[in-house]
Amino acid sequence: MRHKFARMLDGFSTDALVATARMPERNRPWTLMEVLDWTRQHFERKSIDTPRLDAEVLLSEVLQLPRVMLYARFDQPLHNEELARMRGMVAQRAAGVPIARLLGRREFWSLELDLTPDVLVPRPESELLIEICSHRKPSPQEHLVDVGTGSGALALALATEYPASKVWALEYSQAAITVAKNNTAKHELAPRVCVVESDLLAGLPPQAQPVDIMVANLPYIPTDEIPHLDINVRDHDPHLALNGGKDGLDLIRRLILDARHVLKNPGLLALESSSDQTEDIAELMGEAGYTEIQIDHDLAGLPRVTSGLFPADKSGKDRL
């Protein structure tokens, strides 16, 4: 007896479907498994990195079902409206629109964050910043700062990791400030997380100082490299959040110097960057007087986060 999954494919040619740029029309309804199978193969042809996962996520979104339930209901037919929505999302994903942009949300540090085109999509490698902070400066800490918060991802993650701390989320873009405030309210972390308009540290209020921990995932892409970025980033992330100037370090260089005026004795500064910038950042921090500088690697084995302490002044007076 033939397997049930094999029987359900009768009546159409999988090879023919894969060769088609759009999920074809036909006389009988598409089942969940047929849609998943066609979408997976279509994404494979488009060189999507995670074709099966992306197909499952999109169909789960369309049907508002957990992914595991897609296989429990593999022979359930899709309604015309559901199929039309799935076709639209598949076309956009195949054209390079990231999954998080299609869904309008992304999980970071087990927090679901709402997104708009005005903020970066939080990347898993950025969670390394939180891990480094918790290792180098265990809870409790009093004042934490996220510079260039965007969606609020790092600030909210810090707030969950340091439940007794006040977190200041600094952001230059008004549109991003709105997103960060909405995510803060969504997770009921206000007023412990305070989103403030600020050009780097210019808007940091006196009550946020001295700072125990400061993190930043600032723009670090050299201007000339932006046109050559992967389409998922170049065409769908805001360039304000990407452009780091000629060498990518314009804002990072400023922050390393400015942070010394507000860090506690000693305070931790942790910076994310591309793998080929970490050595330069470590050198900049050393020249600025930071100590115990270290470079940590992400899960792909690439150097990702540079961190250091700005030491106490033994006299107890202003250090600069």
Give pTM, 2 decimals. 0.85
What does the DSSP 8-state code read for residue 216?
Answer: E
Backbone phi and psi for residue 136, each to the nearest 5 degrees, phi listed first? -85, -30
At 236, the amino acid letter reads H
Quick check: 181 and 149 in contact, CB under 8 A? no
Domains located in the chain, CATH noted: 4-95 (1.10.8), 109-310 (3.40.50.150)
All residues at 6 or more sequence positions from 263 whose CB lies less than 8 Å from its CB, including other chains: 210, 211, 214, 269, 310
In DSSP terms, 158 is beta-bridged to: none
The series of mean pLDDT values per 10 residues for the chain, 320 residues long, is 35 38 72 96 94 96 94 92 95 93 95 96 95 94 96 98 96 97 97 96 96 97 90 85 93 97 95 97 97 96 97 48
pLDDT tens digits for range 229-274: 888 788 888 898 998 999 999 999 999 999 999 999 899 999 999 9
- Cα–Cα distance measured from residue 90 to residue 51, given in angstroms and rounded to the nearest whole number: 11
Output the pLDDT for position 312. 52
Q: What are 236's two structure tokens?
A: 């769908």
What's the whole-number average pLDDT of the chain?
89
Backbone phi and psi for residue 133, each to the nearest 5 degrees, phi listed first? -60, -45
Neighbour count for residue 277 (Cβ, 10 Å): 23
- Cα–Cα distance measured from residue 139 to residue 181, given in angstroms and rounded to the nearest whole number: 24
